[in-house]
Amino acid sequence: EADIYQTPRYLVIGTGKKITLECSQTMGHDKMYWYQQDPGMELHLIHYSYGVNSTEKGDLSSESTVSRIRTEHFPLTLESARPSHTSQYLCASSEVGAAFFGQGTRLTVV
């Protein structure tokens, strides 16, 4: 099972601020993913990476950006937060087989 960590767990921030959500995994997985999920709603893939220096947009259009400079690290950045960005953001990683999720970051933009 992967160890995958997300920080912060909760974030309340004002409109217009730049934020970075951190995601790190210790299992050396090549594939990493960011999902967005509103309460009671389905998961939406917003970004994924299948290795260092590779990033792809997911199925849901997002104003966020990601980078993958190191295998273990896949941060997500919002340059200017808006109330519409309020959601839960889930990071996951996989190698062969299942994806394993971090505990998530619940973001509230006020």
User: Which parts of this chain interact with another protein (CB under 8 A)?
Assistant: 1, 31, 33, 39, 41-43, 45, 48, 50, 56, 58, 90, 92, 94, 97-104
67 burial via Cβ count (<10 Å: 0-12, 13-18, 19+): middle
Closest approach of another protein to the CB of residue 4, in Å: 9
| The two structure tokens encoding residue 60 | 């849901």
In the complex with another protein, the residue whose CB is nearer, 49 or 64, is 49
Contact at 8 Å (CB) between 30 and 50?
Answer: yes
In the complex with another protein, the residue whose CB is nearer, 13 or 43, is 43
